[in-house]
Structure 1
Amino acid sequence: MRRTQQERRDQAETALLTAAAELVVEQGVRSLTLARVGERAGYSRGIVTHHFGAKQALVERLARATQAGFVPGLENEPPGLDRLLRLIDGYLGELGRIAVFNQAFLLLWAESATQPELAPIFRERDAAFRADLAEDVEAGIADGTIVESAVADEVAIAVVGQLRGIALQRLLDPGSVDTEKLRRSVTGSWRRALRR
C-alpha cells in the first residue's frame, strides 16, 4: 500500500526529530547541525532544511515534541488532587525508563539556563507546566480535597523544581536514583502535604 505525501512527511519529521534527540543526548545541543541530523536520519541536509528551515526551528520543534506526553494518560483526567498526584507519580515512573526523547528534553532544559536561544522556549514550556499544576491545586481547593492554605503557584514551582531536579540527578547518575522508591515517597509526601 502506498503512503500518502502527508504520511511520508510525518515519517520523515519523526525520523529527523529522533535523530536530533539522539545527537543532543550523545553530543549536546551545541554540536547539533542540520547536516548531522539529516545524516543520522538517513536524509539529506536539504530535507532537514525543508522541514525546519534552520537549527533554531529544529530545536524549538524538538523541545515541544520531547515534552509532549511525558506522562501519558492524563488528558482526560479532570483537574484536582488526583491528577496532580498521578502526574507526579507518572513523571517519576517515566524517569525509570527514560527514553531518548525524555533525555533530550531534560538536557535541552538544563542547557537553556546558559543558552539564550533556548531560554524562551523552556520558559514557555515551564510556564505551561506550572499553569497545569496550579490548575490542579486550585481545582482541589475548590472541591475540598486540597487544604485551603495551599498557594497554587508556589506548589507548582515546588513540584516542577523537585521533579526536574530528580530527573537531572537520574541523568547524571542513573544508579543512584531509585525512581520506584521515589514514586512512593515523593507522591506520598505531596499527598500528605496537600490533602485536606
Structure 2
Amino acid sequence: MTTTQRRTQQERRDQAEAALLAAAAELVVEQGVRSLTLARVGERAGYSRGIVTHHFGGKQALVERLARATQAGFVPGLGDLPPGPDRLVRLIDGYLGRLARLDVFNRAFLLLWAEAATQPDLAPIFRERDDAFRADLREDIEAGIADGAVDPGLKPDDAAIAIVGQLRGIALQMLVDPGGVDVDQVRRSVTGYWRRVLAPE
C-alpha cells in the first residue's frame, strides 16, 4: 500500500469519526443522552451502525470520546503560558467569553456533564474530566503561591472546586435561559472577583 493510499484511508477514517461525533453531539443537544444509540448516531451521520461500532466499540466509548473532544481547546491560547495566576485568570475570562458562542459540541458536553449526576455510566467519564480541570487550576494557584503572586492563605483544592463549579454553573444557566444571563457583565464581575481573591494581601 502506498503512502498516498494510507493517507487517503486515514483521511476517510478521520472524516467518518468527525461526522459520527458531530451526529452524537446533535442528538444529545436535541433529545438528551437517552436518545444516543449507535443506530441513531450512524443514521444521523449517514453511516451504518456497524461503522459506529467499528470506530468506538460501544456507547460508553463514544460518549467518552465526545467528552474529550468537546473539552479540548475550549479556551485557546493557554498552552504557551507558564502556570500561574495570569494563565488562571485568562482561563476564567476566556471560558466565560466563550459562553456567548457555544457550538453543538460545547452544549453536548455541558448537558452530558449535568446528566452525569444521575447516570452511573456517565459519572466516571466526567469525574475524570473534572479532576483534570481542577488539576490544571491547582497547578496555576500553587505556582502563584510559590512565586508570591497568589495569596498564600488560599487553599488550591478549595479554589479549584469553586472555580469549576462557578464556570460550569454559569454555563448551564446560559443553556437553560440564554436571555437571562448578561455574559459580558458576568465575565467582568467573575474575572475581577478572582483577580482580587488571588492577589496577595
Give the TM-score taking structure 2 as reference length.
0.95
Aligned to 2:63: 59
Amino acid at match of 1:58: L
Correspondence for 2:15 among 2, 11, 14: 11
Any idea what SS the aligned residue of 1:4 has?
helix
* Alpha-carbon separation, structure 2, partners of 1:136 and 1:55: 35
How far is 1:4 from its partner? 1.3
Correspondence for 1:92 among 84, 93, 96: 96
* Alpha-carbon separation, structure 1, partners of 2:170 and 2:80: 26
Aligned to 1:115: 119
Any idea what SS the aligned residue of 1:69 has?
coil
**Sequence identity (%):** 79
How far is 1:88 from its partner? 0.3
Amino acid at match of 1:55: K
- Equivalent positions of 1:69-108 (< 5 A) are 69-108=73-112
Aligned to 1:178: 182
* Alpha-carbon separation, structure 1, partners of 2:176 and 2:194: 25
Of stretches 80-89 and 68-77 in structure 1, the one that deviates more from structure 2 is 68-77
Correspondence for 1:42 among 46, 56, 74: 46
* Alpha-carbon separation, structure 2, partners of 1:16 and 1:70: 20
Of stretches 67-76 and 160-169 in structure 1, the one that deviates more from structure 2 is 67-76
Gaps of 5+ in 2: none
How far is 1:62 from its partner? 0.8
Aligned to 2:169: 165
How far is 1:195 from its partner? 1.0
1:191 matches 2:185: no
- The aligned length equals 196
* Alpha-carbon separation, structure 2, partners of 1:125 and 1:57: 14
Amino acid at match of 1:68: A
- Runs of 4+ aligned structure 1 residues displaced above 2 Å come to none
How far is 1:144 from its partner? 1.2
Amino acid at match of 2:149: T
1:22 matches 2:40: no
How far is 1:64 from its partner? 1.0
Any idea what SS the aligned residue of 2:144 has?
helix
Amino acid at match of 1:51: H
* Alpha-carbon separation, structure 2, partners of 1:129 and 1:16: 26
How far is 1:119 from its partner? 0.2
* Alpha-carbon separation, structure 2, partners of 1:148 and 1:18: 44
Deviations 1:98-153 (A, max 9, x none): 11111000000000000000000001000010010000000011111111111111
Deviations 1:57-101 (A, max 9, x none): 111111111111111111111110000000000110111111111
Alpha carbon RMSD of aligned pairs, Å? 1.2
Any idea what SS the aligned residue of 1:93 has?
helix
* Alpha-carbon separation, structure 1, partners of 2:71 and 2:32: 17
